[in-house]
Structure formats: C-alpha cells, structure tokens
Chain A
Amino acid sequence: MKSMSRRRQSGNGMKAFLQQHKQYLLTGVSHVIPFIACGGILIAISLAYAFRFLPPGPNGGPDLTHAPLFIQSLGTIGAAAFTLFPAVLAGFIASAMAGRPGLVPGFIGGSIAGLPQTVDGHSASAGFLGALSIGLVAGHVVNALKRILVPKLLRPVMPIIVIPILSSVAAGGLMLALNLPIARVMIALNTGLQSMQGGSQVLLAMLLGAMIAFDMGGPVNKAAFFFGVAMIQQHNYAIMGACAAAICTPPLGLGLATLLGRGQWTEEQRESGMAALGMGMIGITEGAIPFAAADPLRVIPTIMLGSMVSATVAMLGGVGDHAPHGGPIVLPVVDHRLVYVLAIVAGSLTVAVVINLVKKFTDKPAVALAGKTL
C-alpha cells in the first residue's frame, strides 16, 4: 500500500511502464502454465515408458514407434500442448494489452515463433523468447490501430476485418522475418560448436551450459541440444552428457531455491518451485520459464551460471549420455552415473544459492518496483 501511493506520487514513467509490461507478461504466463504442466507431464510419461520398456531408436534416444497405442497417444497429446504453448503465451500477452483484438495477432505471431524453420537441413524455431517478444509487439500494434479514427459507418469493420488483418500481417510478418535469421544464427552456433571440439573441453562445456539455460527450450538451447544429439550419432557421448546435466539444472535449481529460502519466495512461487522440481527431474528445462518470465534479469543469468557449472563438472568427469534427452530421468543410459548426479547437484545448488543471495541483496528496489508491501 505504502509503495502504491509512492508510485502514484512519483509518477515515474519508466517504472510504471516496466510494471505494466510485467503485468502483461504475467497474464500470458498465467494462461500458459497449465499447457506447460500438461504437455510436460504427458511427454515425460511416454518417454519414461520408452526408457524403461523399449529398445532405443536409431539415434540412441527413446523410440515410441513400437510403444502401445495408449503411450504413443499420451506423447502426441503432450506434444500438442507444447506446440500450442508459444501461441497461447503470445496471444494472452497481446490480449492483456489490447483486449480481445489482441488475441488474433498474438496467437498468429506466437504460433509462427513456434514454427520450425529449415535452413540447409537444420531446423530451428524462435521459441519462448520469440513468442514473448512478438506478443508484446502484437499488443502495441493493436493498440496503435485502435487509435485510428474512422468514420462511424466504417467502425464495425475495424474489429473484425481491419484490425485482425493488419495486426496479424504486421506481427506474423515480423516474426516470419525474424525466424529465418534466428534459425541461421542457431545453425551458425552449431557449426561454431563443432569447430570448438578440438579446443578446450571446459570452454566448450561452459558455452553449452550457458546456451542450454539461456532461453530454456528456445533456439539457443536447441542449438546446443542438437549439437549434442548430432555428436551422439557420431558416437561422441560427452557433448550430450554435458548438455543433459545442464538441461535439468535451471528448473531443479530454482525449485531448490524455493525450498532453501522459503521466506524469500511467495507461497505461489513455492508452488511453481515444486512443479519446476518435477519437470527438472524429467529433463524439461521449460519448468524454469515461470520464474524467468517474471524476473528475467535476475533469473536468466543465474540459471546460465548454474548450467555452466553442471555442464563443466559433467564434461570433466567424463559423463556420457547415449540418449538425446537430459535430466535425472536418463540416468540409466548415462556413463559415470555418480559424476552425472554430482554435476546436477553442483549446478542446482549454484542456482539456488546464487538466486537467493541475489534476491536478498537486490529485493528492496525490486519489491518497490513490484509495489509490494514489506
């Protein structure tokens, strides 16, 4: 309350602007959380079945082609939920900003962010960060279009024809235009990683870890991930080993942080923390997204650091992963299992301790910004 009146009095434009945009992002996140939870858990069930009962596929990973129809269906349903996720995120960010007219360009821009782009046989999509950005763009575009004054006669045409078409062409076109460069960058990263193989293993591991955590399932993450997968096919399991440890570190570390520093997190965040722990166990980096979306400037650097730690420990300890997947769930197909577990623990502890310390020392201004009462 106190801080609210403070906010009113100061009328600080930049703060109000950030506060408002945070509210938009949280609105999108609030709609997308059930999608991530549903998709993540269903995919994990089907993968867990494949690991436990089925022979690995041609690239050493879980292979669902011979799974019972029920298990296959769960995987397909989960994948559908994950496919919708960028569209839903962007759609509801845009609708929080611009009301119902925001839904169309948001959904369209977001679904394009999730579309894989193929360049030279590699494919990439803009993912979570792309969807988040295009949602904000779509909202602003619609708000700008709404301000255009039109004669009364034409007014009914605006919300059903003019605004949806113009805003979708703008948001969708921008996302399409950005998708290809993003894919190109990803592929360049991949080539760069391959050329680094002869060099320092530690440097490579640190880079992989940072990339895995940076956008939690987005294009940069996938660049590192697919590099690891490609190396599995060439019977080099160490790259995927480093990635596998890095993959689960952000959600596990953040979940751990909510357990270690109970007082520093709201009850709500502690609940997200439990979900993040669950998703971390099954190697779904996306479990960290609710934290990262709400507080990107503090969370993303911290999880990058944690994943760098776990990737480096895994690389130095000779961890190899034979499956194109990460997290404790792949333990049965990992070489040097003890080091693998150690790497994950070290990285997760790093995330938990660092984020709680960072919060401790920077929470005051952040709290004032969020308008909380302490």
Chain B
Amino acid sequence: MKIVAVTACPTGIAHTYMAAEQLEKTAKKLGHHIKVETQGAMGIENELSQAEIDGATVAILAVDIAIEQAERFARIRQIKVPVQAALRDPEAIFHQIQGIMLKNV
C-alpha cells in the first residue's frame, strides 16, 4: 500500500521527527511504501507534492496542531491520530488502516 503521512507536534523539535521515524520504520516492517512529511520548528521538510498525495491510498496525519497546507489532503482518505499514538504504538495505526480498507473495498 502507498501511504503518505504528516507529523507535527507543538514544539516541533523532537516528537515530530521521532514520530516520522516510527512511521517509516513500521511501514517498512509491514511492507508498505510510505513518505512522511514533517512540520516541525523548521517548517515543512520532506514535503509531499500533490501528485504524491493523490497517488497514495491513505494519509496518516499524526498531528497535535493545525497543519500547514492542509488543503492538499482534501481528496484523500485519511486517518488522524495524536503524535503520541505514532510514538507509542505505530503498528496499531497500520492495523486500523487495514481494517478501514477491508471494510470499504
């Protein structure tokens, strides 16, 4: 499955990047292709293009704050979780995605 994700925490110096790493690691382990954009104190890094978002099956928004350029995600199926969820139990997010996909397909 092709997945895009955004991580953003209030301070934007630690959790944003740790969550991104967790999501990347877990996706690799479960055999998904993922690209994670971080919106930390440095602004948007590893930015997702509209084409990348449109080409993905689902978007994970692991965010505690309002994200920038949210309009990019208007057309994609998405799952929104707190940053903590991506840190503590990233696999659960992927399981939930699979659950949603099975139901809807």
Does the CB pair A30–B10 fall under 8 Å? Answer: yes
Number of interface residues, chain B, beta carbon within 8 A: 22
A23, B65: Cβ atoms under 8 Å? yes
Q: Across the interface, do B96 and A1 meet the contact criterion of CB distance under 8 Å?
A: yes
Residues of A within 8 A of B18 (CB): 267
Q: Which of B66, B85, B96 contacts A96 (CB 8 A)?
A: B66
The answer on a CB contact under 8 Å between A266 and B84 is: yes
- Interface assignment of A68: CB less than 8 Å from any CB of chain B: no
Of residues 316 through 337 on chain A, the ones whose CB sits less than 8 Å from some CB of chain B are none
Contact A26–B65 (Cβ < 8 Å): yes
- For residue B12, which residues in chain A have a CB less than 8 angstroms away from its CB? 30
| Distance, CA A93 to CA B44, complexed state (A) | 18
Q: For chain A residues 1-41, which have a beta carbon within 8 Å of chain B?
A: 1-2, 4-5, 23-24, 26-27, 29-30, 33-34
* Chain A contacts for B10, CB-based, 8 A: 26-27, 29-30, 33, 268, 290, 294
Q: Chain A: interface secondary structure? A: helix
| Chain A hits for B11, CB < 8 A | 30, 33, 268, 271-272, 290
* Distance in angstroms between the alpha carbons of A34 and B65 in the assembled complex: 16
Verify if B92 is at the interface (C-beta below 8 Å from A): yes
Please state if B9 and A268 are interface contacts (CB–CB under 8 Å). Answer: yes
Query: A95 to chain B: which residues have CB within 8 Å?
Result: 66
B48 at the interface (CB under 8 A from A): no
Check: B75 CB closer than 8 A to any chain A CB: no
Instruction: Please indicate the chain B residues that have their CB under 8 angstroms from the CB of A33 in the complex.
Output: 10-11, 41
User: Considering only CB atoms and an 8 Å cut-off, how many residues of chain A contact the other chain?
Assistant: 27
Residue B14 interfacial (CB < 8 Å): yes
Q: Are B81 and A1 in contact (CB under 8 A)?
A: yes
Is the pair B15, A373 in contact by a Cβ cutoff of 8 Å?
A: no
The chain B residue with its CB closest to the CB of A92 is B66
- The answer to whether A271 and B81 have CB atoms under 8 Å apart is no
Contacts of B66 in A (CB 8 A): 23-24, 27, 95-97
Q: A4-B81, A268-B14, A373-B85 are in contact. List 9 more A-B contacts (CB 8 A).
A: A23-B66, A267-B18, A268-B9, A272-B11, A290-B10, A370-B84, A371-B82, A372-B84, A372-B85
Output the nearest chain B residue to A371 by Cβ-Cβ distance.
B82
Quick one: given A30-B11, A268-B11, A372-B85, are A5 and B96 in contact (CB under 8 Å)? Answer: yes
Whether B85 and A27, one on each chain, are in contact in the complex, defined by CB atoms closer than 8 angstroms, is no
Collect the chain A residues with CB atoms within 8 Å of residue B88's CB. Answer: 372-374
A30 partner residues in chain B, CB cutoff 8 A = 9-12, 41, 65
Could you tell me if A4 and B15 are in contact, using CB atoms closer than 8 angstroms?
Answer: no
What's the Cα separation between A197 and B24 when bound, in Å?
A: 63
For the complex, give the distance between the alpha carbons of A265 and B37 in Å. Answer: 25
Asked if B13 lies at the interface with its beta carbon under 8 angstroms from chain A, I say: yes
Per-position contact with A for B44-68: 1 when CB-CB < 8 Å, else 0? 0000000000000000000011100
Interface residue from A24, A271, A373 paired with B13 (Cβ < 8 Å): A271
**Residues 1-28 of chain B: 1 if any A CB is under 8 Å from the residue's CB, otherwise 0?**
0000000011111110010000000000
B96 nearest in chain A by CB position:
A1
Name the A residues within 8 Å of B41 (CB-CB).
30, 33-34
Residues of B within 8 A of A373 (CB): 84-85, 88-89, 92
Give complex CA distance A370, B88 in Å.
14
Please report the C-alpha to C-alpha distance between residue A4 and residue B13 in the assembled complex, in whole angstroms. Answer: 25
Query: In the assembled complex, which residues on chain A have CB atoms less than 8 Å from the CB atom of B15?
Result: 266-268
B interface footprint on A233-275 (CB within 8 Å = 1, 0 otherwise): 0000000000000000000000000000000001110011000
For residue B89, which residues in chain A have a CB less than 8 angstroms away from its CB? 1, 373
Question: How far, in whole Å, are A272 and B15 apart by their CA atoms in the complex?
Answer: 12
Cross-chain contact B92 with A271 (CB below 8 angstroms) = no
